[in-house]
Amino acid sequence: MTQSSGTTGQPTTPPTDDKDWTFVTTQGCPDCGYMPTRVDEVGARVRATIDPWRHRLAADDVRQRPTETTWSPLEYGCHVRDVCILFRQRLGLMVTSDNPTFANWDQDQAAVEGRYWDEDPAEVAEQYAVEAERTAAAFDAVTPDQWDRPSLRSNGSSFTVETFAAYFLHDLEHHAHDVGISRAG
């Protein structure tokens, strides 16, 4: 992996992705093939990502970046682990608070502060499995009357629990695609 010129051994930070991905909640994603799902399938689709991520994080090239400014599979694994934690926390607020607003989460800053490139791949695989299962269970626990509960992102984008679930699931499946994990069925 190409290192930055800094003294920390930190890889070069990828360019910020400022694309508004909210379109995937209704249209799907032409890049990775993601299609929104029925709300009763969210937990199962999250769980379906666990074993493929375990296998990918066990590969010999887990620390290799395909380009200097593209995360390695390990860095993406850390990211999806943290996405599970963040989205589960936000889901909890959505079902217990009236129309919460969520601050922007700087994923690049999280990667640098967490030193994703230095993490142990086997530990990340197990941490992801735990966090993905917990988040799947949280979505499984959403009651029919809660799927329409609203929230706002800091940029003004509005979500319901249902569209929030689609946005979250896309993140997991898109990053699996990014590291070469084939879509199941």
Q: How many angstroms separate the Cα of 65 from the Cα of each of 16, 24, 70, 117, 143?
A: 16, 26, 6, 10, 41
- 167: phi > 0 → left, psi -120 to 50 → alpha, else beta; which? alpha
Q: Could you tell me the residue ranges of all domains in the chain?
A: 23-178
pLDDT confidence band for 185 (50 / 70 / 90): very low
Record the pTM. 0.87
The per-residue pLDDT for range 130-148, each reduced to its tens digit, is 999 999 999 999 999 999 9
Average pLDDT, the chain: 88
> Which CATH architecture best describes the domain 23-178?
Up-down Bundle (1.20)
The per-residue pLDDT for range 55-99, each reduced to its tens digit, is 999 999 999 999 988 999 999 999 999 999 999 999 999 999 999
Which pLDDT score, from 0 to 100, does residue 96 have? 96
User: Are the beta carbons of 11 and 3 closer than 8 angstroms?
Assistant: yes
